[in-house]
Structure 1
Amino acid sequence: MIKSILNLILIISISAVIAEKTNNNQTIDDIFYFTVNHTNTKNPCLMARFSASFLISYSANINQTTTLQNVRVNLTKLEDFYGTCENTTNSLFIKFERDWTLSMTYTQDKNEYSLSNVKLSYFVDSRLFPNATEFGNQEAENNNLNEFNVNTGKSYKCYAGTNIPLGNNVTVEFKNYQAQAFIKNSDKTVTFDTAVECVGDIIGSNKLVPIVIGIVLTVLIVLVLVAYVVGRRRYRPTYQQMSSGGSDFKDWYNNIPQVTKYWFTGSVVVPLLCRFGILNPYYLILQASLFFQKFHFWRPLTALFFYPITPQSGFSYLINLYFLYSYSTLLETTTFDGRPADYLFMLIFNWIILTIIGFIASLPMLMDPMILSVMYVWCQLNRETIVSFWFGTRFKAMYLPWVLVGFNMIIRGGGFNDLIGIAVGHLYFFLMFRYPETNGMNLLKTPEVLFKYFPNRRNNVAGFGTTPRRNF
């Protein structure tokens, strides 16, 4: 019965994807291209392409009652544009919709630049603002921005929507955005240089049907909970005692190994806080320029816990949580049983290496490769163990990381993060297990300070010592 339900869910999901891909009735925003040249040359200092719309709230008199009405005006009827190229500022001025002007100013600070000012001058008339209580020229401006931050010599791309409040009840939304400012006069660039993508583009711009995805995820969660409750009632381990008045969930959570519990909890709490708008993902992702120049030292840690929860990425997020819980628990309760400090050191080592790679390769999030690095270590320590994958497929554990790489390449079009996770996991496995096995010398040792806060629960020697011989 459960297999039939899962097959039905799979068919519905695939149908939703196909329907979304083949839908030809989607509206496309008007995209405009702008180029501002250096003085007396035809070489650009600023290039931009985007579509824009403006959400404006205004006072209206309806049935002798003053109410607040909303109107959305798209950037469509383009009349003219021009700009300026200064040493530390590049500006773009766009005239449209008769008496409307949008101005955008980019400011350079050392080796990076950002959109620092956006101003909209517009005209309130009865055509666009019916029943308005006041007519005439209006302005809305935000001159304290730090949007689309990127290093000089690169462009910033965000095809997903970005909302910027301008004050005076006006918000501008940019879509299909890509821009590059402060292009050198000697550079006869006609195309954008390497683009830094926003979080929305990294996640993916495919908009699956939210209702279908919601139903699929809900059914999966219900099935997992039902199976869990039934399994708990049929079998209770002898070492686990139910406290009076306790709940199954509480007992399950309390029995998660110590280090895994902290990692798992952070990976649930941080994404949920972002999902409900309490935290801004922009301040959580890994970005080298902000870490080294703006001293955002928290970013490597938040990039480990953050994962966007959207209709497109929700299922991948649940799979990540499952792998995190399963393989981190397996490692901590077998190879590292009773040695939380040693296990925490492994996580810290992998995290530091991933952070360095993330700075170099511009990885905004570290959850995917971190989980795969832990899985890889377990798979290498249990190479001959038979594991099960989707649809009942079974194979040796040594092949599981590579199966996941291929799976993600097909389903999500990715795989790069997974390969990085495998490389980091192999580095730790080699230094901690393989090298001491063949050379008799440990290159990695758990710092003593970790044992102070995470003492061994058995009479183990601090650190790993000499590992038992394995058939690698």
Structure 2
Amino acid sequence: MAYQTIRQEYLQIPVVTRAYTTACVLTTAAVQLELITPFQLYFNPDLILRNYQVWRLITNFLFFGPVGFNFLFNMIFLYRYCRMLEEGSFRGRTADFVVMFLFGGLLMTIFGTFVSLVFLGQAFTIMLVYIWSRRNPNVRMNFFGLLNFQAPFLPWVLMGFSLLDLCGFTDLFTCLVLILALDVFPNQPGGGRWLRTPSILKSTLFGLPKVDAFRNL
């Protein structure tokens, strides 16, 4: 009975959130059990281009360090805000959510190359928090029990912390580009949409009609 309940709760998690969170947990478990090492996962452009170790483009987003407080903190943030985005702004638009994931990951990979970051999962999680805050301007938030503010101010709080490390620096640039692509330019007179979901992704993989992916974003 307990197994069925857990399984049912697990399957109720939106598909993208479920897949990404599960991949992160399994990757960390594999490292903890010494089946693989972080040296096989980290982002290294030279190994990717010269040795064709293309899996590093993905695995560097899946490892958040050894099991501990930092790992649990990141998993809670990842699960919470990824799920709220998928069930909120992107409800019924899984293909759009996947495209945002891929576009955000691509930007982080580019910026991460210039600042020599080897793991980008934490920055990716903060990106999800940033985008959620833009979609929920009236929500009241509490930061570590010290600061109380509305969701739109969360990016500025995160920006303050981003000054302390390169991970936040990379995430800040990624978020700015995403907000420009999704929020700013499409709403300007004569502005166009930079980010569109390919029709084949919507119709073939998700069985959705071919419509403008971000018309309601």
TM-score, normalising length from structure 1?
Answer: 0.43
Match of 2:169 in 1: 419
Match of 1:386 in 2: 140
Higher relative contact order (CA 8 A, sep 6+): 2
CA distance in 1, matches of 2:2, 2:71: 32
- Structure 1 pair 253–380 and aligned structure 2 pair: CA distance change class (3 A): same
**Structure with larger Rg:** 1
Match of 1:259 in 2: 16
Q: Which has the higher helix share?
A: 2
Letter in 1 for 2:199: E
CA distance in 2, matches of 1:449, 1:464: 15
The correspondence for 1:286, drawn from 40, 43, 67, is: 43
8 Å contact 1:285–1:303 — kept in the other structure? yes
Displacement after TM superposition at 1:250 (Å): 2.2
Match of 2:192 in 1: 441
Match of 2:29 in 1: 272
Displacement after TM superposition at 1:466 (Å): 5.6
CA distance in 2, matches of 1:384, 1:262: 29
Match of 1:366 in 2: 120
2:192 aligned counterpart, secondary structure? coil
- Does residue 327 of the first structure (1) align with residue 81 of the second (2)? yes
1:464 aligned counterpart, secondary structure? coil
Match of 2:151 in 1: 397
- Structure 1 pair 281–248 and aligned structure 2 pair: CA distance change class (3 A): same
CA distance in 1, matches of 2:175, 2:207: 24
- Structure 1 pair 291–460 and aligned structure 2 pair: CA distance change class (3 A): closer
Match of 2:206 in 1: 454
CA distance in 2, matches of 1:449, 1:363: 33
CA distance in 2, matches of 1:245, 1:416: 43
Match of 1:75 in 2: none
CA distance in 2, matches of 1:339, 1:374: 16
Match of 1:431 in 2: 181
CA distance in 2, matches of 1:282, 1:420: 21
CA distance in 2, matches of 1:365, 1:246: 34
CA distance in 1, matches of 2:59, 2:51: 16
Displacement after TM superposition at 1:408 (Å): 7.2
8 Å contact 2:32–2:66 — kept in the other structure? yes
Displacement after TM superposition at 1:405 (Å): 4.8
Displacement after TM superposition at 1:253 (Å): 1.4
The correspondence for 1:377, drawn from 131, 151, 159, is: 131
The correspondence for 1:306, drawn from 63, 67, 77, is: 63
- Structure 1 pair 390–258 and aligned structure 2 pair: CA distance change class (3 A): same
Q: Considering only aligned residues, what root-mean-square deviation do their CA atoms show, in Å? A: 2.2
- CA distances 1:150-179 after superposition (whole Å, capped 9, x unpaired): xxxxxxxxxxxxxxxxxxxxxxxxxxxxxx
Gaps of 5+ in 1: 1-243, 468-472
- CA distances 1:237-260 after superposition (whole Å, capped 9, x unpaired): xxxxxxx76544323211111111
Displacement after TM superposition at 1:389 (Å): 2.6
- Does residue 297 of the first structure (1) align with residue 54 of the second (2)? yes
CA distance in 2, matches of 1:336, 1:278: 36
- CA distances 1:265-320 after superposition (whole Å, capped 9, x unpaired): 1111101101110012111100111111111111110001012205xxx2111111
Q: How many correspondences in the alignment?
A: 215
CA distance in 1, matches of 2:83, 2:180: 21
Gaps of 5+ in 2: none
Displacement after TM superposition at 1:361 (Å): 1.6
Match of 2:104 in 1: 350
Displacement after TM superposition at 1:462 (Å): 4.4
CA distance in 1, matches of 2:72, 2:57: 22
Q: Which has the higher strand share?
A: 1
Letter in 1 for 2:195: L
8 Å contact 2:16–2:98 — kept in the other structure? yes
Displacement after TM superposition at 1:335 (Å): 0.7
Identity of aligned residues (%): 27
- Structure 1 pair 461–321 and aligned structure 2 pair: CA distance change class (3 A): same
- Structure 1 pair 246–357 and aligned structure 2 pair: CA distance change class (3 A): same
